[in-house]
Amino acid sequence: MKIKFIGEIYKDQKEVQYNNLQYVLAEIEKNANIIAHDYGSFPTETSFFSWNLKPDSLPEAEDVQFIGLGSRFAEIFDLEIITGQSFDQDIKTRSREAIINQTAAEYYRLYNPVGTTIENSSWGEFTIVGVVEDYHYQHLTHSIKPLVITRMPHIEKGIIVKIASGKLQETMAELEKLFKKVNPNEVFTYEFFDDKVAATYHRDLLISKILKWSTLFIFILSGVGLFSLSIVYGLQKTKEIGIRKILGTANLLILLGSKMTSRVVLAFVIASPLAWWIMQQWLETFAYRIKLEWWYFALSGLVILILALFVISYNSLKTARANPVDSLRSD
């Protein structure tokens, strides 16, 4: 979770900011329920900035994803520094260090990135000290892009704490007390990283839920429709059923069932290509996606056929067992 202990009220009082920050960090260090802590942004809160290498490896500066994080971001969010090291932890100095992700190392054609200078037109030059493993900081409809991470003392963005399992409520109460000591007139507010990620996929989760209930409704509606059709078909063939009764119940079941199942098979043959096309178009919006296999549709068709046979079997069996004399007397 992230808490803005050092708010806008201190933006023009740098010494007060750092004194308060040191006090807050010292108090957080004493809390046994806090596994790790840092300051800055969540690792998904990126933006676009132009970065280039010195000397240039590309014709011109390119816009890549950028974010300012603290020195312990890898520890808090379980990310691995695969080459080099993390940032210097002196929060009072504006570090001239940068960390890039694996995709950025490939993008800039760097085989040994550590020690390379990377430049931003607004902030100047930074030395690459490490490479972090690729992680998804955007929706999965996007592929992982080059990312530059710097350690800047943006203490007003908040302090991030990683709380031990089962200790959330107790620790939040303690953090609120600490917040009130530093900001007696401010409202205690916080953000959960899980909520930020969930918000990114809110639309997808909503669509998934709608599709799940729609599928259930369609299955029920289809079952009722098939059952009704089997009744209507049985009534239409009353006299024929009476005459064919001499051939046996099994023969009648085939007669009654084949009419319904043939319609189900026809509907499946028509719907499958359309379903494949719609799903393929939807999957194309994702950078990482599964491949639609033929057996997905074959399996669904088999399930639908079994459902159809189950629904119509009861009424067909009842019709087939009817007294043929009663059937022949019907109008």
pLDDT for residue 271: 85
Q: What is the pLDDT tens value at each position of the chain, 331 positions in all?
A: 888 887 654 555 556 666 777 788 888 888 889 988 887 788 888 888 888 876 555 444 567 888 888 888 888 888 999 998 888 766 555 578 899 999 999 888 888 899 888 888 778 888 899 999 999 888 888 888 899 998 865 666 788 889 888 888 999 999 999 888 888 888 888 888 888 888 888 888 888 889 889 888 887 887 777 777 767 766 666 555 655 555 555 565 666 667 677 778 888 888 888 888 988 888 887 777 788 888 888 888 888 788 777 776 666 666 656 555 555 455 5
β-bridge pairing 159-163 and 34-39:
antiparallel
Q: How far apart are CA 322 and CA 238, in angstroms?
A: 10
- Domain ranges within the chain, ordered by starting residue: 2-200, 202-329
* Element containing residue 63 per DSSP (H, E): strand 62-68
Contact in structure between 133 and 80 (CB atoms under 8 Å): yes
Cβ-proximal residues to 183 (8 Å cutoff; 6+ apart), any chain: 5, 7, 9
Global model pTM greater than 0.75: no
- For 56, the token pair is 């240039």
DSSP letter (8 states) at residue 9: G
pLDDT for residue 109: 86
DSSP letter (8 states) at residue 103: H
β-bridge pairing 117-120 and 124-132:
antiparallel
> Cα–Cα distances in Å, from 45 out to 50, 104, 176, 275?
17, 17, 24, 36
pLDDT for residue 200: 83
β-bridge pairing 147-150 and 190-191:
unpaired
- For 236, the token pair is 């239409």
CA nearest 115: which of 126, 132, 106, 127?
127
